[in-house]
Structure 1
Amino acid sequence: MKKIWVLFILTPLLFFAQSHQKYQSAEKWVDSVYNQMSFNEKVGQLFMVAAYSNRDSKHLQDLLDLVKTKNIGGVIFFQGGPGRQASMTNKLNAVSKVPLFVGIDAEWGLGMRLDSTHVYPWNLNLGAIQNNNLIKQMGQQMGEQAKRLGVHFMFAPVVDINTNPLNPIISNRSFGESKDNVANKATALMQGLQSENVFATAKHFPGHGDTATDSHHSLPKIDFDKKRLDYIELYPYKKLIKDGLASVMVAHLSVPALESQPGVPTSLSYNTITNVLKNDLNFKGLIFTDALNMKGVANHKSPGEVDLAAFLAGNDVLLFAENVPLAVDKFNEAFKNGLFTEERLAHSVKKILLYKFKAGLNKYQSINTQNIYADLNKPEYTSLTYKLFENMVTVVKNDQKIVPLNPTKPQNIAYVKLGDDTNDTFIDALQANQPITIFNQYQIEEHLTDLNAFDLVIVGYHKADGVWKKHDMNATEINLLDKISKSNKTIFVSFVKPYALSEIKSFANMQAVVLGYQNNIIAHRKVADVLFGMQAANGKLSVSVGKHFNEGDGIDTKPNKNLRYSRAIEQGFNETKLKEIDVLVNKAIKNGYMPGAQVLVARNGNIVYNKSFGNLTYNEKDAVTNQTIYDLASLSKMLGTLPMVMKMYNDGKLRFDQKLGNLLPEFKRTDKANITVKEMLTHNSGLTAWIPFYKETLDANGKPLTDLYKPMQSAEFNLQVNDNLYLKSDYKKTILETIASSKLGKKEYKYSDLNFILLAEIVERTYKKPLNELVTQNFYNKINANNLTYLPLTKFDVSQIAPTEIDNYFRHTTVQGYVHDMGAAMMGGVAGHAGLFGNALDVAKMMQLFLDEGAFNGEQLVNTKTIKDFNTCYYCQHGNRRGAGFDKPQLGTSGPTCGCASMQSFGHTGFTGTMAWADPEKNLIYVFLSNRTYPNADDNKLSKSNTREDIQQIIYDALIQ
């Protein structure tokens, strides 16, 4: 017990001793440096001058002269590039007696000032985010980047509360009009920055948010009483100071409540800086002026005079001084005249030196310029930016919960663009989900009535990104939007600052209004994800939009899909390595293995790769898109029949040990009566691999028998095999009889379509509905996989469906929109082994359902045990790799995968050139769809080339975590 108490007592004492030692070390260094300085060198430390790495050698020489002759304390960088800035910083420090402070005015990242660096969203848009930890992460990344570039001060965060929508200079730079939101966001950003030992600077004290004048050009006036200032403008400063704020920047404002002398800017006001900021708010950190070349202060005093006045008012660092030599002379003259004391000078200079010690400048090291571009553009910086934009998206109107769009009722959608900036990536993002008809904005007046033919019109407003650019809608655009929304179901999506929407006449006729805030590829993708239910929207307006919407408005939406889009790096992939898939697929197309393909990769429920290649045929006219529908061939077993077999098993309507003779009476008195459900699912039943049912229906010339086929549909002939070709309605009975009388082999592994033909028959008889209706109702509709379908011509235009073969042996025509498998065609296009069509995205949705162990949006479609029971290899010891309906990785040297997938993985391949595979260990999905059977199915070059398996190998090789 004594030892515990001793430890309890010694621990805080040890911490105190370490802190005291560190303080003593800092104090010792500060005093030693200060005491070696001349008066002019001390004064020089007060100045931080402007530096530009994109200017000529004369500019650099001027700075070198100031460093050598005036001992300036630091530089604030503006335009240029990171490599040039790092080199310039090194050169300046090489001639400086005391290492320089380096600052940069980069409120939303280095990209605000420098080329080849990262840029984050603007503050006003960040204000919509509800998770402030994301803002802290952004601050941390900004700090990491600043530190890599040798920057000690980021002149951020802006803590101005933008209560004036007409503010010409703050606006997008503010986190919003709510003092709490501004304070909380600013605190988070500050904490992130300072966690990297980069100092945050809150600005513009005492508050520039409620102004209609730009202090760069004149002196804005804030005519509020002190009570209002204390309650609103000063509120964020109190919070940040309490939480450890390093520095404050003082604005050039006229605030009579704080400074009674007319025309004296706050940056030169002793009462504002010393009495209010230092004394009332008890701020102990560094105090910067705003740039002293700005007209708001420069019109009041001339260079030199203005610097001295700022110092006398209580500022520590004089930013962007225009004439340092003249200012130093003014300081000498003022000191001789007793206008300030050595004690006052020491107060600021020693504070500056203390912060230099905190920044590590007592052990200065030059900036390593190697790999600086790569280090400042890490993939994780872009990943966080995607998260920020994702969390910003704000839905402020959503009648009948139209957003997200109901995927169970696909709509015919038109898109109309307003604004004069690009929208290509937004169109691409929309088209990735479903086909959209695009209307030219300059001709839309002539086609307004054409919009009436559509179920929904999406109107997008696109203006060029730019913090100070004008985004307001013109009268023509406002009137056009009004006309469209009055006559059509309309969703309005905006990619501009919220204030720009204030002049819209009314939002009453619009069904939904969605804000993406900025017009760039990330915002485009994230808004599309919200519209189509791939992600939630939970942003809230950071400012009011005229009289239409209030600050804080925002309607939360929920995703209605189990997959969403993400960047590969976020999910642990090397993006460069994944691009090798493109090379491999294009090579396969060039070599004639298939005319086109879709490839999708997803991990952790996030699609990281979804691309289409080539064309529907080799004529190079009709390109494959992400909406192209492929014949999935044997993927139908896993994605069509198997889910319903699982449901039967899950519902207690089927057991693995049940026998075929008891489930289908026509097999009771055959040698197949004792085949179990498990044996059928695992292809261990002994059934023959394949029966060419169609051959028995052809005449001597290989043409369909006229007594079995008719060119027109009727009650007697209603099994449609192709255009103008209908088989007798009862022929399915013949197929079952043929299977019943077929030769039964040994019960060992032999892949057979017949197993799943029989399983589908069991399903249909149990539920007394066709398989296509059952699986659609119980699975596809629920997970919004609307592109998975049997009989695709009932839902899609033939031009959207990839042809599978030029058939010269059965149907004698190009097979397009009808199932390629002859047996499935003879069952009307719906069979247990084939008949399902779809695109890669919806195939992936079903694979994700399996990975999610049967759960979707809180509903358990089948339970976890069912999924595990079916994803089990029951006959592995006998050389049969199959699970119960799922294919599994190879047991030996050959098999369906690259050999890199885990033994827990599962999937299937298909005759038409398809593959879908999922790996629970990596939470990974891979889908490959093609029509390799076109124009002829005989020579399977795709399989021989191992293209599908090689792509899978690339995917696994690309995993970095």
Structure 2
Amino acid sequence: MQKNTILLLAVLAVNFFYAQQVKPLISENHLEQRKWVDSIYNTLTLEQKIGQLFMVDVFSSASSAEINSLKNKIKKFHIGGVIFSKGTAKQQIQLTNEFQQLAQVPLLIGMDAEWGLSMRLDETFSFPYNMTLGAITNNNTVFEVGQQIAQHSKRLGVHVNFAPVVDINTNPKNPIIGNRSFGEDRNQVTQKALALIKGFQAEGVLANAKHFPGHGDTDQDSHKTLPSLDFNVKRLDSVELYPYKKLFKQGLSSVMVAHLNVPKLTEQEGLPTSLSSKVVDSLLINQLQFSGLIFTDALNMKGASEFGDKGIVELKAFLAGNDVLLIPNNLEAAIKQIKNAYNNGTITKSRLTHSVKKILYAKYKVGLNNYQPVSLKNLASDLNTDKNKATRFKAFKEAITLVKNDLNSIPIAETQHSKIAYIKLGDAENNKFIETLSNYAEINSFSIENPNLLEELKFADQVIISHHKSDENPWKSYSLTTSEIKLLDAISREHKLVFVNFTSPYALLDLNSFLPIEVILQAYQNADDAQQVAAEIIFGATKAQGRLPVSITNAFPVGTGYQNSTLGRMGYDYPQNLGFNTAKLAEVDSLLTEVIEQKMSPGVQVIIAKNGHIFYDKSLGFHTYENKIPVKSTDVYDLASLTKILSTLPLFMRLVEEGKVSIHDNLSNLLPELDTTNKANITVKRMLSHYAGLQAWIPFYASTLDSLDNYYRKMPSKKFSIPVTENLYLREDYQDSIYAEIASSELLEEVEYKYSDLPFYFLKQFIERSYKDSIHTIIQNDFYKTMHIKNMFFYPKRHKTLSEITPTENDQIWRKQLVHGNVHDQGAAMLGGVGGHAGLFGNARSVAQFMQMYLNEGTFGGRTYFKPSTIQAFNTCYYCDKDVRRGLGFDKPQLDDVGPTCGCVSMTSFGHSGFTGTYTWADPSTGILYVFLSNRIHPDASNRKLIDEDIRTKIQQVIYDSLDI
């Protein structure tokens, strides 16, 4: 026995002592399995037995001639399996069914689906690469990825997935492994591989660890040559073989043996490991005690194909101990060589029986004892589910790695006054990244081709640069160009720089110096999910969670990864990732469809979020029943009474917090002119609780109907300057009459709960006097702009075209026209479009952002707007014992069976509804935020279908029913 073999045995002795005997091909009903295997085996001729050893390849997109050739091989040579490659899922299923029908023994169908079917098939689902998964610390997510890849594989009739790659990629220059590896740390590679394997095998698909004994530390491609690993046995055992030893104890189904030159194992220079009995038989089978299926790597690869005449390579591979000979160079010659070897005694009967029966055991385990043709029904939807999308998104969210964050430069908090420049590097798309960045700040984009770029960047306080390369496959070039590196260096020396790399982490090795770059965010791939999450991390809508799976120089060793703080801004996620049952949640779609079909409203916008993550964001229907302008997410609606809690109330809350007013003050303290009225001693607390005896509303416009010429003009003038709607201007002095009428209005005979708009007329007066400015200016400057709320404002026509504003009522009583781009509420209209109770327009996302600030207890985007105690003071039901459910300005859940909610929300929840068909509700106990916008009063305010059917709260009920608490 030679020295190397003795050393290898010594190294493995301890491992063998602890080895766990696992029989990965044995089913639970092993007696039935053995019975089936024996019954099939006993019917096979020698030729049929030999045929079982071979798995041949085919493109599902192959020509008819190629397909017919394979069909002939199935019938003539009785091959045991087929490995599919390029084409479509439909083509593959059709061919699988045809091939299986021809086979006497059902075929074992294999496929390379390392990151899903998209590795080989067009228009199929792509999961993240192993390198991306290697950055995830939560192995349950990796398991879910494996499980879903297996579900897709099984759906196509695939029984063995030639994955995962368990090569430890310690060589950044490796041309064939790279992104296909989980990384360079043996423990992490093993853990991730085990999670993926368990996911595969939980679904009944055989996993396949490759490329034994380890293809990670080489800079050559075995498709083109025979790569060499010139390491000693101790190194090979501690690094390359480490994952295999661990995985064998966990029931790994199969292994693929690579074509590598490893002389310390083969004891023969230039002999491929796949053809070496010392590697396959002695090491893999006897020393490591592996009893699963052993596949060769493709025998038509240059690393093996040139090692002998026709059929000799296949014979040597079988003699070395392999069970399945993958993609033979010459099938007929190989079968002939093996048959001759059997007949002359070189291959024994027991040797052939051993491999053939293992193959049959595997076929039973994957269900081929009860083979059924694969159905094409619902194929596309089965291979592209919302669950798949949710899992992929979660994987990217958990993988993206904050490699460097000097001085906690991200998240970027200040967006109102910061001047942010953006530059794209690379030649792939960046649309999702720039779109998501724009949700949080104004982004000024610059081209790398701009000759004056450095000069024009002088305005910028912050520069974001992202690097995008093709995500088509893991072998695509990921390197930065020389000019890009120089630009990064120059900009980083003059500006605060956030650099996001949407390619392999090895691209970072091209950077000459990391020191000037404050932030490096490693996103691994150029997928839309990665782009969205990266942008959310930069602005603090989510946290970076990943850890580097490989070292990037000594500065950033494997495992590097920081967590950024979050700033309470809103991001996106999938309901599955937030604990929702999507089958139940689908009823929301049904209810919204009912709204449109039953003409409860021409269109709607709905957003639902949990813990700051929007998981439902839909715009349905049209602006009007003419169905000409579809509703877009950026279109704005008349928010009606939502104005109260989104504009007037927060401004008043701030005055309370600043000590300029108290909720215990009387109205006469706020507005001295009320001192002689019946409103003088009403407290703010009672007024905002709607427990002050005030009338619900006053139709101020009604008293002008008998003398329109006295109050209105079609053209503005100094005297008639208040715009009510198109071509209708009110006398300027009439606003005084409005406030006088409110002041002199009668109180209810008995104080009881009565919802009223009148308190917000008073608050508007007080706020504007206190700030010496209009509430529309104050709320924009102090709240909306600082929160980067882009689509919420008074005077919508100053911000949007009419095609972006949904119309409300066709008012034939007073305004004699369709109200479009002007506030519907008559009182707010007579105040020129800005009321304390109405006048605000917005889209669902903008409403959600403001409500999220309340849920965050007064903070948003790193800025504090209110103390939690202030939010609590206004979100309190002070008169519940008087059957008054309201907080101060906020609506609260009902105290009996009738009220504004589904009855399923917590008593800490709050919100409001609006006459035009709007609604928003937030629940601190669950983190759920819900926004429903519609123009149900178009074209007629008498349309009460939305209210009568209680659609808004039915949707709320569905949301809570869908939450798996």
Residue 459 (structure 1) aligns with: 465
Residues 825-864 of structure 1 mapped to structure 2, 5 A cutoff: 833=837, 840-848=844-852, 861-862=868-869
The runs of 5 or more residues in structure 2 that have no matched partner are 1-22, 723-729, 809-818
1:229-253 CA distance string (max 9 Å, x none): 1111111111111111111100000
Residue 474 (structure 1) aligns with: 481
Q: How many Å separate the matches in 2 of 1:36 and 1:48?
A: 20
Letter in 2 for 1:134: T
Matched, 1:908 2:915: no
Residue 174 (structure 1) aligns with: 181
Look up the SS of the partner of 1:240 in the other structure: helix
Q: How many Å separate the matches in 2 of 1:184 and 1:219?
A: 29
Counterpart of 1:243 (choices 242, 250, 253) is 250
Residue 108 (structure 2) aligns with: 101
Residue 812 (structure 1) aligns with: none
Q: Residues 70 and 497 of structure 1: is their aligned pair in 2 closer, same or farther, counting only changes over 3 Å? A: same
Letter in 1 for 2:515: A
Residue 754 (structure 1) aligns with: 758
Counterpart of 1:680 (choices 672, 680, 687) is 687
Look up the SS of the partner of 1:253 in the other structure: coil
Residue 208 (structure 1) aligns with: 215
Q: How many Å separate the matches in 2 of 1:24 and 1:803?
A: 71
Residue 272 (structure 2) aligns with: 265
Q: How many Å separate the matches in 2 of 1:502 and 1:89?
A: 44
Letter in 2 for 1:787: I
Letter in 2 for 1:420: D
Letter in 1 for 2:478: H
Counterpart of 2:44 (choices 22, 37, 56) is 37
Q: Residues 623 and 485 of structure 1: is their aligned pair in 2 closer, same or farther, counting only changes over 3 Å? A: farther
State the TM-score, normalized to the length of structure 1. Answer: 0.79
Q: How many Å separate the matches in 1 of 2:197 and 2:366?
A: 16
Matched, 1:140 2:147: yes
Q: Is the 8 A contact 2:523 2:534 kept in 1?
A: yes
How far does residue 918 in structure 1 lie from its aligned partner after superposition?
Answer: 4.7
Residue 159 (structure 2) aligns with: 152
Q: How many Å separate the matches in 1 of 2:875 and 2:696?
A: 27
Letter in 1 for 2:463: V
Residue 11 (structure 2) aligns with: none
Q: Is the 8 A contact 1:226 1:258 kept in 2?
A: yes
Q: Residues 515 and 445 of structure 1: is their aligned pair in 2 closer, same or farther, counting only changes over 3 Å? A: farther
Q: How many Å separate the matches in 2 of 1:245 and 1:83?
A: 30
State the TM-score, normalized to the length of structure 2. Answer: 0.79
Matched, 1:347 2:363: no
Q: Is the 8 A contact 2:791 2:846 kept in 1?
A: no
Residue 743 (structure 1) aligns with: 746
Look up the SS of the partner of 2:29 in the other structure: helix
Residue 789 (structure 2) aligns with: 787
Matched, 1:512 2:514: no
Count of residues in correspondence between the two structures: 908
Q: Is the 8 A contact 1:840 1:927 kept in 2?
A: yes
Q: How many Å separate the matches in 1 of 2:261 and 2:153?
A: 33
Letter in 2 for 1:449: E
Q: How many Å separate the matches in 2 of 1:689 and 1:706?
A: 33
Letter in 2 for 1:489: K
How far does residue 293 in structure 1 lie from its aligned partner after superposition?
Answer: 0.4
Residues 299-314 of structure 1 mapped to structure 2, 5 A cutoff: 299-314=306-321
Q: How many Å separate the matches in 2 of 1:499 and 1:67?
A: 44
Q: Which moved more, 1:399-408 or 1:863-872?
A: 863-872
Q: How many Å separate the matches in 1 of 2:38 and 2:170?
A: 45
Matched, 1:367 2:374: yes
Q: Which moved more, 1:863-872 or 1:284-293?
A: 863-872
Look up the SS of the partner of 2:148 in the other structure: helix
Residues 686-835 of structure 1 mapped to structure 2, 5 A cutoff: 686-690=693-697, 739-746=742-749, 747=751, 750-758=754-762, 785-787=787-789, 833=837
How far does residue 207 in structure 1 lie from its aligned partner after superposition?
Answer: 0.4
Q: Which moved more, 1:377-386 or 1:702-711?
A: 702-711
Residues 870-889 of structure 1 mapped to structure 2, 5 A cutoff: 870=877, 885-887=889-891
Q: How many Å separate the matches in 2 of 1:98 and 1:629?
A: 64
Matched, 1:502 2:505: no
Residue 810 (structure 1) aligns with: none
Matched, 1:118 2:104: no
Identity %: 45
Residue 194 (structure 2) aligns with: 187
How far does residue 172 in structure 1 lie from its aligned partner after superposition?
Answer: 1.0
Q: How many Å separate the matches in 1 of 2:594 and 2:429?
A: 32
Counterpart of 1:607 (choices 614, 628, 633) is 614
Residue 816 (structure 2) aligns with: none
Q: How many Å separate the matches in 2 of 1:370 and 1:476?
A: 51
Residues 314-393 of structure 1 mapped to structure 2, 5 A cutoff: 314-393=321-400
Q: Is the 8 A contact 1:503 1:546 kept in 2?
A: no
How far does residue 412 in structure 1 lie from its aligned partner after superposition?
Answer: 2.8
Q: Residues 411 and 283 of structure 1: is their aligned pair in 2 closer, same or farther, counting only changes over 3 Å? A: same
Q: Residues 569 and 188 of structure 1: is their aligned pair in 2 closer, same or farther, counting only changes over 3 Å? A: closer
Residue 718 (structure 1) aligns with: none
How far does residue 183 in structure 1 lie from its aligned partner after superposition?
Answer: 0.9
Q: How many Å separate the matches in 1 of 2:447 and 2:941?
A: 41
Q: How many Å separate the matches in 1 of 2:380 and 2:807?
A: 51
Q: How many Å separate the matches in 2 of 1:21 and 1:190?
A: 18
Q: Is the 8 A contact 1:404 1:557 kept in 2?
A: yes
| CA RMSD of superposed structures (Å) | 5.4
How far does residue 517 in structure 1 lie from its aligned partner after superposition?
Answer: 1.9
How far does residue 917 in structure 1 lie from its aligned partner after superposition?
Answer: 4.0
1:688-713 CA distance string (max 9 Å, x none): 445699999x99776999999999xx
Letter in 2 for 1:886: F
Q: Residues 21 and 437 of structure 1: is their aligned pair in 2 closer, same or farther, counting only changes over 3 Å? A: closer
Q: Is the 8 A contact 2:606 2:932 kept in 1?
A: yes
Q: How many Å separate the matches in 2 of 1:531 and 1:21?
A: 50
How far does residue 833 in structure 1 lie from its aligned partner after superposition?
Answer: 3.7
1:27-48 CA distance string (max 9 Å, x none): 2322232233222222111111
The runs of 5 or more residues in structure 1 that have no matched partner are 1-15, 712-724, 807-814, 934-938
Q: How many Å separate the matches in 1 of 2:438 and 2:591?
A: 22
How far does residue 130 in structure 1 lie from its aligned partner after superposition?
Answer: 1.4
Look up the SS of the partner of 1:197 in the other structure: coil
How far does residue 308 in structure 1 lie from its aligned partner after superposition?
Answer: 0.7
Residue 91 (structure 1) aligns with: 98
Q: How many Å separate the matches in 1 of 2:899 and 2:721?
A: 42
Q: How many Å separate the matches in 2 of 1:177 and 1:263?
A: 26
Look up the SS of the partner of 1:199 in the other structure: coil
Q: Residues 34 and 615 of structure 1: is their aligned pair in 2 closer, same or farther, counting only changes over 3 Å? A: closer
How far does residue 337 in structure 1 lie from its aligned partner after superposition?
Answer: 2.6
Q: How many Å separate the matches in 1 of 2:112 and 2:716?
A: 82
How far does residue 453 in structure 1 lie from its aligned partner after superposition?
Answer: 1.9
Q: How many Å separate the matches in 2 of 1:865 and 1:886?
A: 11
Q: Which moved more, 1:316-325 or 1:555-564?
A: 555-564
Letter in 2 for 1:361: L
Q: How many Å separate the matches in 1 of 2:778 and 2:288?
A: 67
Q: How many Å separate the matches in 2 of 1:44 and 1:217?
A: 28
1:185-240 CA distance string (max 9 Å, x none): 10110111111121111000000001111000110010111111111111111111
How far does residue 394 in structure 1 lie from its aligned partner after superposition?
Answer: 1.5
Letter in 1 for 2:488: L
Residue 927 (structure 1) aligns with: 931
Q: Is the 8 A contact 2:712 2:720 kept in 1?
A: no
Letter in 2 for 1:454: A
Q: How many Å separate the matches in 2 of 1:427 and 1:38?
A: 64
Letter in 1 for 2:469: K
Q: Is the 8 A contact 1:635 1:910 kept in 2?
A: yes
Q: How many Å separate the matches in 2 of 1:922 and 1:21?
A: 43
Q: How many Å separate the matches in 2 of 1:944 and 1:675?
A: 36
Matched, 1:526 2:527: no
Q: How many Å separate the matches in 2 of 1:445 and 1:931?
A: 50
